[in-house]
Amino acid sequence: MKPISAKLLLTAVFVARGTSFLFSKILMNTMSPMNILAVRFILAFLVLAVIFHKKLLACSKNSLKGGLILGVLYTVCMIFEMYGLRLIDSGVSSLIENMAIVMVPIYAAILARTLPKKKTMLCALLAVIGVGCLSLTQSSCSGGGLGIVLMILAALTYAACIMATEKVTQDADPVTVGMLQLGVMGLLSLIVALASGDFSLPQGSQQWVMLLLLVLLCSCFGFTFQPVGQKYLPAETAAVFTVVNPLTASVMGIAVGGEGMSFLKLVGYVLILLALLLYNLKTNASDGA
């Protein structure tokens, strides 16, 4: 796959992933977070296993290892995301989680034992100030402070997921890795849901519609094809495209979810999006895109 095709694929992936915040928030009115994750990812795995059964049967050791690693990492990330999303607005949740774009180069600098570039640190500072503004807007929500903390933890974990995806897909089939990742996420979520005694199947047509959108659009396409796109791009380049995710979630939250927009929230949105776009310009200049 050519780099331009990989970038277009990742753009579509992150648009799909961005819709999951609103769908999940609506479902949490009637279902527990772990219940949603269990049903969502088990169904997604079963759908993909039927479509790509030959790849699954020919699974290599590297693909299995990659699927297990990403499955565990993404399960942790999704737990933080869901419990944080339950407490604060979907658009705010997505913006904070997608600070991963700034955290990836910081992680890379730490691993390389070098200082992050000045522009990276500027982006990080803008993002942190933006999160501070958004935190103030969520103070009226019950548990809003905890929701902000959980989404920051989701962002830290998501950055690790992006970096791990680059590593595990180099010598493995990315579609198989993506399928196995969903299977692991579904299994781990099911274990937690059963242990807590709150597992049940969706009730009513609205629950099933929201869940099927999560399964087919956000999971089968979004999660599975992210490793495909990332296989042909560096982790830092792939991280740039996460900006599409919060833009999608924010627009849907305001237009469909009825989430209000205050001046302080607008300032927070602008600062975080500015940080993401500044990093985008830096990365595009460096990779010749």
Q: Of the ranges 75-84, 90-99, 202-211, 253-262, which one carries the lowest mean pLDDT score?
A: 253-262
Least confident of 23-27, 84-88, 255-259, 279-283: 279-283
Question: Are 63 and 95 in contact, with CB atoms under 8 Å apart?
Answer: no
DSSP string computed for 82-144: HHHHTTS-HHHHHHHHTTHHHHHHHHHHHHTTSPPPHHHHHHHHHHHHHHHHHHHHTTTSTTH
C-alpha angle 236/240/242, rounded to 5°? 120
pLDDT mean over 73-92: 90
pLDDT of 239 > 70? The answer is: no
Q: Which two tokens stand for residue 84?
A: 């944080």
User: Measured between alpha carbons, how far is 221 from 22 in angstroms, rounded to an integer?
Assistant: 17
Half-sphere exposure in the Cβ direction for 11 (13 Å, CA): 6
Most confident of 237-246, 268-277, 280-289: 268-277
**281, pLDDT greater than 70:** no
- Chain segment 3-60, per-residue pLDDT in tens: 788 888 888 888 887 788 888 888 888 889 999 999 999 999 999 999 989 998 988 9
Question: Does an H or E element contain 211, and which?
Answer: helix 205-213
Task: Evaluate whether 214 touches 20 at the Cβ level (below 8 Å).
Answer: yes
Q: 61-85 and 33-51 are packed helices; what angle lies between their axes, rounded to 10 degrees?
A: 150
Give exposure, 44-61, as e/b (b: 16+ Cβ within 10 Å).
bbebbbeebeebbeebee
Whole-structure pTM value: 0.78
Contact 169, 6 (CB under 8 A): no
Q: How confident is the model at residue 289 (pLDDT cuts 50, 70, 90)?
A: very low
Q: How far is CA 153 from CA 76, 138, 146, in A?
A: 9, 17, 11
What is the arithmetic mean of pLDDT over 185-192? 95
Q: Is the pLDDT of residue 165 over 90?
A: no
